[in-house]
Each structure stands twice: as C-alpha cells, then as structure tokens.
Structure 1
Amino acid sequence: MNGGPSGFNNASVTKTFVISCLVFTIFFGIKGRSNNFGFSHQDFFQKPRLWKLIVSVFAFSSTPELMFGVYLLYYFRVFERQIGSNKYSVFILFSVIVSLLLELLAVSLLKDPSVNLLTFGPYGLIFASFVPFYFDIPVSTMFRVFGVRFSDKSFIYLAGLQLLFSSWKRSILPGICGILAGSLYRLNVFRIRRIKFPDFVTSFFSRLSWPSTGSPPAPSTRNVVGSVPSYPGHQVENSLWWFQRTYPSLIASAIEPPEDSIAMLVSMGFDRNSARQALVQARNDVNVATNILLEAQSH
C-alpha cells in the first residue's frame, strides 16, 4: 500500500510541507536548538511567542520521529490528490490550529508536570489524517502473521503508533488532539469542508515546489484540479455508452486507460470500474477523471 503512484505528482502542498519539515528539523538540529521548541501554556499567555509555535509545527524533535513523520506525511498525500490542493490546504490549516488549541486546553486542565512541555512537530496534521485514512481508504489485501490477521493498512497504523508513543505523554497528547481535530473536520464543523482558499494560494505552492521525482503524471491538456467542467454521474455513463456504440474500436485502443492511472484513482478510494469509466470519459486525464468521480459522489 503506497498511497498511489510514487513521487509528489498532483501533491504540491504535501511536497512543500514535507520539505519544510526536513529543512526545519535538520537546521535546528544542527544548531542544537531543537530542544527549545517544545511548548506549554506559558507560550500562549505569559510569554507569547508566535514564531516558536510556527517553527514547532514543522520541526521534529529527533531523527526517528522525523523518519516516521515524513513517511506518514508522504503517504497521506493521497488525500491531497483526492480532494485537491486547495481543500487540502484548508485541512492542514484547520488541523494545525485546532490541535494546538486543544493541546493548550488539555495542558491547562491537566496541570501535569510531565506533560507541561509538549513535544513538537506536525502531530496535529499527521494524526488528523488518520481519521479519513480509517474511514475512506479501503483495505485491498489481507494476510496472516503467526495466525494474526493483518491488512495492508496495518503498516500505516504501526508507523502511527510508533510516532504516538515516541515521547510518551509528551507525544500522546498532541496525537490525541490531532485525531480530535480530524474528527471535527470530518463532521464538517462550521462547514469547514466547503471553505476554499483563493486559487493563487495553491498555485503558489505549485510554483514553489521543486521538480517532482517519481513517475510522470498522465498526459493532460488541463492539469489543475477544479479548472475543468464537472459532470454528474449519469452523464458519465450515458456518454460512455454513446461513445462505445459509435466508436467501439477506439474504446479498445485509443483511450483504454493505463493501469497506473486506474490504480491511482482506486488508491483514492474510488471503485475500480467507476475509475475506468471516468478515465475513458476524461480521455485518460487523471485530474479530469477525479473531478468527474467527485462530482458523481456529490449527487
């Protein structure tokens, strides 16, 4: 289970976030200042340090946390591909802010010296992502190890548990707050799932990103999600039926969807047959096919 094709294709926001985490962690680790970025409620009330909170969102406190955290962030790029870079940016901002506020509230109420200084890093975003991962990503394979059943999703859960218990109480609390933030997003509190940033925000991340590595995206004449007209589900089926009747030979050759494009849409949680039909309708344009499938789900 890899979250779709390798690389950061159609995931420019995730790419920028991951690279920021690497840069901040390495820079402050080399400077020996990483231990100064754990925060407590004093950072909000007695000595407000907004810059410290911003840095603590990106910088991990140790190399093992960096490895597992970046691995999970990289895998969860599937959600940016599924909902688009614009809405995923909203999800990131909502998860980070809400989880920080919940952590502040928890520390103030618990008054436990052992959690008075919380660990830092993008725990809010990572553990908020486990909510859609649990509900929206299907299990594709099952296997047994010493008689115990596992799924392909088990590796992601194990990496999450490793990160959750990396600093014991100091990391468990941010993880729980991240899960609560993801749950509030899924419940559409304040209609958060309808909010979108201006288009220039996500286009900025696309221009900011370094050249992608991994398999190239499918050929496309329109490569920005949301910039093409959408089609209801019944239009997909009717148009496909007409095209099959009119040009049956072209269906078998010219626009037969490549397997990697189908796999990419299936990894987002779409049915395989629906993914294939959408790709045929979109003439193998993965972005257009994603719009078609999302539009069909909303009807």
Structure 2
Amino acid sequence: MNGGPSGFNNAPVTKTFVIASSIFTIFSGIKGGPDKLGLSYQDIFRNPRLWKLILSVFAFSSTPEMMFGLCLLYYFRVFERQIGSSKYLVFILFSVIVSLLFEVFAVALLKDPSANLLTSGPYGLIFASFVPFYFDIPVSTQFHVYSVHFSDKSFIYLAGVQLLLSSWKRSILPGICGILAGSLYRLNLFGIRKAKFPEFTASFFPRLSWPSMGSPRGATTRNVTGSAPSHAGRHRTSPAPMAPSTEPPQDAIATLVSMGFDRSSARQALVQSRNDINIATNILLEALSH
C-alpha cells in the first residue's frame, strides 16, 4: 500500500515537517543524547523548559522510533494531497496542540516528579492521522495468512503498534492523546475542519523545504504536440492550442485512487480540471458532499 506517487509532490507541508523532525532528532542526539528527551512533571510544572517542549514535538528519542515515525509521516502525506496544504497545516497545529494539552493534563494527574513520563517525538500528529486513515482510506486488497485476515492497511497499523509500544508506557500515553486529538478534529470541534490558512502561507513551504525528487510542479500537463523544436521569432503570438481532451497521467489518477476515490470518477475529474490534481480533488470532494 502506498500514499500515491512517490516523493513529496503536492505535499510541501509534510516534507517540511519530516525534514524538521529529522534535523531536531539528529541535533538532540549530538547535543545531549536520548536520555535528555521526553517530558516529566518537573519539566512542565516545576521547572518549565521551552526548548524541551519544542524538542518533544519534533525530535524522536531513538533511531528505531525515528524510522517508524518518519515512514508513517511520509505515508500520511496522502491527507495533505486530499484536503490541501492550507487545511492540512491546520490539522497539524490542532493535533500537536490538543494532544500536548492532553499530555500535560495526564502528567498533572499522575504527579510523579521522579519519572520521565512522556517520550519525545511527533506522536500527537502521527496517531491523530490514524483517525482519518481508519475512516477515509478504503481497503483495496485483502489476503489471508494461516486463516488470519489481512489487508493492505494492516502494514500501516502494524507500524503504528510498533511505534506505540516502542517506549512502552512513555510512548503509549502520547499515542492515546494523539488519537483523542484526531477524534476531536474528526468530530469537527468548533468547526475546525473548515478552517484553513491563507494560500500564501501554504505556498511558503515549497520554497522553504528542499527541492522535491519527484516531477516538478506543472509537469503533469505535457505539450504532446511540441516534439519538434520551436524557433524564436516565428509564430510567437499564436501558440498551438492544447487538445481539449488530454488523457490524464496515470500517476495523477493513482494519487486520487489512493485517496479513496473511484478510478473512473478520478479520471473524469482530471479531464474536467485539465489535469490539475488539486482542482480535481476539490471537484470529487464537492461531489461527495452533495
């Protein structure tokens, strides 16, 4: 199972978050080691440390956790492609802030100043993403292993369980808080699902993050008729018009299908939007809402 075409095409916010998480994890490992990561009662209430709070959002406390966590974040880029970067940025902020509030509340209830109760890493965002993953991503293939039923989604769930149990009690609590945050977003608390950042905010991320290894923006529509080189100064004022019914690229169709849309509907939406995958996604979502 995959999240559509490889790379971070149409997922600049996810790309920036993955890069930031990797940098913070490496930096924290060089500076102090994993034993200084994580949050405790003392870090929150008796001796608050802003730097430790920021690290707890981005930096993983071990290499195995980082590997599983970044793989899950990379897969969940499908949600940014589905709802758009402006709304996905709201989802990230909501998941991180709400899950962190739940964690603070849980630590306040436990009141154990000697224990490092919470592991470090973007557990809130990762496990909040499992809520739309469960409800919105359909099963495409099923198979059996010794009479046990599996699907293509099973591998994502197994990776999530591995991450949830990676630090035992210290990782279970942030994971549960993340699921609660994702559930509140799913329930559209305070109309949060309609909120989005201005478009210029989302457009800042492609310039901020490193160049994508996938096809460049705008490569989804090709000039089929332009195989021969054009000569400067000749017929510059009347470029050849594009064919009105350009066949959508297979990778664009695969992206929409991976979001749960029907293949035929995805193709029609791409034709209608002239192969603009963002417009096609909006067309399909509006059709589902009616």
Using the TM superposition, give the Cα deviation of residue 199 of structure 1 relative to its aligned residue in structure 2, in angstroms.
2.6
Distance in 2, matches of 1:105 and 1:114, equals 17
State the match for 1:58 in structure 2: 58
Q: State the distance in 2 between where 1:267 and 1:258 align.
A: 15
Task: Please identify, of 173-182 and 20-29, the stretch whose mean Cα deviation from structure 2 is larger.
Answer: 20-29
Report the equivalent of 2:268.
277
Go from structure 1 to structure 2 and tell me whether the alpha carbon gap of 1:115 and 1:164 turns closer, same or farther (over 3 Å shift). Answer: farther
Partner Cα separation in structure 2 for residue 150 and residue 298 of structure 1: 31
Report if the CA contact (8 A) 1:6-1:215 is conserved: no
Q: How is 1:212-231 mapped onto 2 (pairs within 5 angstroms)?
A: 212-216=212-216, 219=219
Deviations 1:67-107 (A, max 9, x none): 00000000000000000001100000000111011011112
Matching residue's letter, 1:273: S
**Mapping of residues 17-166 of structure 1, within 5 Å:** 17-111=17-111, 116-166=116-166
- Which residue identity does 1:102 align to in structure 2? F
Q: Which 4+ residue blocks in structure 1 deviate beyond 4 angstroms?
A: 112-116, 215-218
TM-score scaled by length of structure 2: 0.87
TM-score w.r.t. length of structure 1 = 0.85
Aligned: 1:268 with 2:259: yes
Deviation, structure 1 residue 162? 0.3
Which stretch of structure 1 is more off in the superposition, 109-118 or 197-206?
109-118
CA spacing shift, 1:201–1:34, aligned 2, 3 Å = farther
How far is the alpha carbon of 1:297 from its aligned partner? Answer: 2.5
Deviation at 1:144, TM superposition (A): 1.2
Please say if residues 257 and 280 of structure 1, whose CA atoms lie closer than 8 Å, have aligned partners that are also in contact.
yes
User: Tell me, which stretches of 5 or more residues in structure 2 are unaligned?
Assistant: 222-242
2 CA distance for matches of 1:129 and 1:261?
23
Instruction: Measure the CA separation in 1 of the matches of 2:262 and 2:161.
Output: 29
Residue number in structure 2 paired with 1:242: none
Q: Are positions 1:199 and 2:199 aligned together?
A: yes
- Hey, what's the Cα distance between the residues in 2 that align with 1:115 and 1:77? 34
Match of 1:12 in 2: 12
CA contact (8 A) 1:114 1:170 kept: no
**Once the 2 structures are TM-superposed, how far is the Cα of residue 196 of structure 1 from its aligned partner?**
1.5
Q: Distance in 1 between matches of 2:78 and 2:48?
A: 35
Distance 2:186 2:20 in 1: 26
Pairwise CA distance, 1:41: 3.2
* Contact 1:14–1:73 under 8 Å retained in 2: yes
Corresponding residue number in structure 2 for 1:240? none
Q: Secondary structure at the match of 1:149?
A: strand
What is the rounded CA distance, in whole Å, between the counterparts of 1:96 and 1:71 in structure 2? 18
> Secondary structure of 1:44's partner?
helix
- SS in structure 1 opposite 2:203? helix
Instruction: For residue 287 of structure 1, report the CA deviation from its aligned partner.
Output: 2.0
Cα separation, 2, equivalents of 1:104 and 1:32: 23
Give 1:113 shift.
Answer: 7.1
- Following superposition, the deviation at residue 179 of structure 1 comes to 0.3
Partner of 1:298: 289
In the alignment, structure 1 segments of 5+ residues that lack a partner are 222-249
Query: What code does the residue aligned with 2:167 have?
Result: S
Q: Which moved more, 1:100-109 or 1:169-178?
A: 100-109
Contact preservation (8 Å) 1:129, 1:182 = yes
- Provide the rounded CA distance (Å) in 1 between the counterparts of 2:264 and 2:217: 21
Instruction: Look up the equivalent residue of 1:43 and give its one-letter code.
Output: D
Paired-residue identity, %: 78
What is the CA–CA distance in structure 1 between the aligned matches of 2:160 and 2:287, rounded to whole Å? Answer: 32
Aligned-partner Cα distance in 2 for 1:218–1:144: 41
Query: Are the counterparts in 2 of residues 219 and 284 from structure 1 also a CA contact under 8 Å?
Result: no
CA drift at 1:127: 0.2
Aligned to 2:226: none
Distance 1:218 1:260, change over 3 A: farther
Return the offset for 1:259. Answer: 2.1
State the distance in 2 between where 1:215 and 1:155 align: 27
From the superposition, tell whether residues 188 and 29 of structure 1 become closer, same or farther in structure 2 (CA, over 3 Å).
same
Deviations 1:269-298 (A, max 9, x none): 112221111011112222221121122223
The separation in 1 between residues aligned to 2:36 and 2:105, in whole angstroms, is: 21
**Structure with a larger share of its residues in helix:** 1
